[in-house]
Amino acid sequence: MGLIEKTATEIVGLLARREVTTGDLLDALEARVARVEPAVNALPTLCFERARAWRAADGVLHGLPVAIKDLSAVAGVRTTYGSTVFADHVPETSDHVVERVEAAGGVVYAKTNTPEFGAGAQTFNAVFGPTRNPWNTALTPAGSSGGSAVALKTGTAWLAQGSDLGGSLRNPASFCGVAGLRPSVGRVPFGPAPDPWNNLSVEGPMARTVEDLGLFLDALSGADAREPLALDAPPRPFRAWAASPTLPKRVAFSPDLGGITPVDPEVAALCEAAALRFEKLGVTVERASPDFSGAHACFQTLRALGFATAHRETLATHREALKPDVVWNIEKGLKLTGEDVAAALAARGAIMGRARAFFETYDLLLCPATIVPPFPVEERYVTSCDGVTFETYVDWLAIVYAVTLTGHPALSLPCGFTARGLPVGLQMVGRWHGEGPLLAHAAALEADLGLDHRPIDPRS
């Protein structure tokens, strides 16, 4: 595969030394896309002509091509949000995260597939159809950043941007065997947004390795005067943290976050085995979890409120064009009372407080990033697990959305394979605003696990 097999960090080094050009990389990507894309449908919108005409800015990416999720607007490029309502939409301006990528020397060449408005952890929509898992194209890559994860694993991207509300970065990273980081709120610009005070949904990096995550987070992070929650970039680059693996002192492992969700036994066993690798390296590993009481109702309420805020006008004008899950979520938000919202905010505050107290004892919280292995692409969502039936299309995501409520950074790291050869991800949760140490600890475990990060050809 040549250039395609190299990590983003290696490619940036080649660019910095002028051993390759952005044009060389675009040529390699275009050839790879032609070869694998028909089997997986990860990059439904390509803009190679724009990319070749783009003059890359000076920055940490040095002209590296980057794929952008189709929930983020790119000026002059078809941006559908996975919805037929916006099937022909071509924005005049880019979202803040895209501006940040380009200011850091990134070159946008493709949009990655996503479900409608990012709703549902399964990547399909009525505009482009389903995206398929490269480990078995009969299965889903999860979502909503499924196209980004698949592009990384099939070698049609070195770096891919994603977003995460209820696991939309972490789930597809787990299902596809790549790395995804949900950063702290404000770490990466996410506007323009109808609610600039939104503190649940974030933009974040996806990559094949932990060091590549650090590189991309450096490109994405930093204050933005247009966003009230924006954080300044820290003095030490995230790539430096990721390139300097360090062991934590004490970590907690929980297969189910204290019993808030069922988990497939094989997934739980693989994640526990990965967690116990730390123990063999001299780290104290204990079974423990923060108290996530109230997480289910809290997240459902706040998620619904967000959908109503962002999409109530679209529901009023294009109800018939929206998928049932989106309609349900918006209507749920519109029916909320002041008491509902107040109770959810109070519950979240309590969860955050208990989590912060928990991390006074532990450096990391480890648990599965998903509760099941990849499932058939025809299934809209997981309806049951280990004998438990779920009521809504969101319920199977508790192991990630509970962590969302804490505000702590969380990373999905490939940790092994099921008996059927399907990847499983370990969710690693760090301390408040602690992306740097989280990356360093993840790099240490990544090195010990020794899994192959190189891209694969799609397998039927």
pLDDT in tens, 369-382: 999 999 999 999 99
At 430-456, the pLDDT tens digits run 999 999 999 999 999 999 999 999 999
pLDDT for residue 423 is more than 90: yes
Average pLDDT over residues 265-282: 98
pLDDT at 112 over 80: yes
Helices (H), ranges, 157-249: 170-176, 210-220, 238-242
User: Residues 181, 427: contact at Cβ < 8 Å?
Assistant: no
Sheet holding 284-287, edge to edge: 45-46, 107-112, 65-69, 160-164, 202-207, 179-182, 410-417, 423-429, 364-368, 250-253, 284-287
Q: What is the mean pLDDT of residues 274-298?
A: 98
Helix and strand numbers (H, E) in the chain are: 14, 13
Rounded-to-integer distance, Cα 41 and Cα 75, Å: 22
What number of other Cβ atoms are within 10 A of residue 335's Cβ? 10
Give the phi and the psi of residue 398 in degrees, each rounded to 5.
-60, -35
Q: What is the pLDDT of residues 134-172, one digit of tens each?
A: 999 999 999 999 999 999 999 999 999 999 999 999 999
Q: For position 358, what pLDDT does the model report?
A: 98
- Rg of the Cα trace of the chain? 20
Residue 1 pLDDT > 90:
no
Domain residue ranges of the chain, discontinuous segments joined by +: 2-297+325-449
Instruction: Provide the 10 A C-beta neighbour count for residue 433.
Output: 16
235's CB contacts (< 8 A; 6+ apart) are none
Looking up tokens 């104290």 gives 284
Contacts of 40 (CB under 8 A, 6+ apart): 131, 132, 133, 134, 137, 150, 154, 458
pLDDT at 52: 98
The pLDDT assigned to 83 comes to: 98
2-297+325-449: CATH architecture: Alpha-Beta Complex (3.90)
Q: Active-site residue numbers?
A: 69, 144, 168
Sign of the torsion formed by the C-alpha atoms of 317, 43, 180 and 72: negative
Residue with tokens 């479900």: 115
User: Average per-residue pLDDT in the chain?
Assistant: 98
- Helix intervals (H) in 221-294: 238-242, 265-280
Confirm if 244 and 440 have CB atoms less than 8 A apart: yes
**pLDDT tens track for 48-79:** 999 999 999 999 999 999 999 999 999 999 99
Helix, strand, or coil (residue 300):
helix
Query: Which distant-in-sequence residues (6+ apart) come within 8 Å of 182 by Cβ?
Result: 164, 169, 170, 202, 204, 403, 404, 409, 410, 411
Kindly state the DSSP code that residue 388 receives in the 8-state scheme. Answer: E
pLDDT at residue number 41:
98
Residues forming a β-bridge with 68: 111
pLDDT tens profile 196-230: 998 899 999 999 999 999 999 999 999 999 999 99
CA dist., res. 23 & res. 20, Å (int)? 8
Question: How would residue 39 be classed by pLDDT, with cut points 50, 70 and 90?
Answer: very high
pLDDT value, residue 148: 99
> 178 with 206: CB under 8 angstroms?
yes
